[in-house]
Amino acid sequence: MQSAQLYKAVPDFVAVATSNERIRLSQKQSHRVLLFFYPKNNTPSCVIENQDFAANHQRFMQLNTQIYGISRDSLESHEKFKLSLNLPFNLISDSNEALCRLFDVLNPQEKFGQIIYSLSRSSFLINEKGILIYEWRDTPVKEHVHEVLTVLDYLESGALSKAE
């Protein structure tokens, strides 16, 4: 797993999510945004990861952080997945891979003589000003949510500087 503290502006984007939410990053300035990318709905690791984020959702809200799960699954698939797990946050459908490319989470792999692009489990923390302040790449499912919460706790305590 790699994590890094960064300070760079994230280009504004618009995305569609479950519950008929249309997300525009520039309109999320009253709180931090955590985007977590996961490979596919209904796979064992992705179920565990989404359940872990769901179990800690209230803590994220207390830390002024709105979370969104993102995969290349369709919006219809996301709606079913969200309902089946009773997720308290929305899922973004990135079927055209625009956000995957923006955050560079697609990795080429050769499989059966063809190049396929797998989605790397990664998370990105964006502050209220649209600045990427932390990223985690190739994250393991176990303990990742708690690593993110630890960073948020540090931010709240002032131990980590807040990007201006």
Q: For residues 105-125, b (16+ Cβ closer than 10 Å) or e, as one string?
A: bbeeeeeeeeeeeebbbbbbb
Catalytic residues: 46
How far, in Å, CA of 125 to CA of 130, rounded? 9
Q: What is the pLDDT of residue 160?
A: 54
The burial class, CB within 10 Å (0-12 / 13-18 / 19+), for 139 is: buried
Q: DSSP per residue over 110-124, as a string? A: EETTEEEEEEP-EEE
List Cβ neighbours of 8 (8 Å cut-off, separation of 6 or more).
131, 132
Residue pair 52/34 in contact (Cβ under 8 Å)? The answer is no
User: Burial level of 137, CB count in 10 A (0-12/13-18/19+)?
Assistant: middle
Residues of the chain under the 70 pLDDT cut: 1-6, 159-164
Q: Please, what's the b/e burial string for 45-58 (b: 16 or more CB within 10 A of its CB; e: otherwise)?
A: ebbebbebbbebbe
Give all domains of the chain, ordered by start, each with its CATH number: 2-157 (3.40.30.10)
Q: Evaluate whether 130 touches 9 at the Cβ level (below 8 Å).
A: yes
pTM over the 0.75 mark: yes
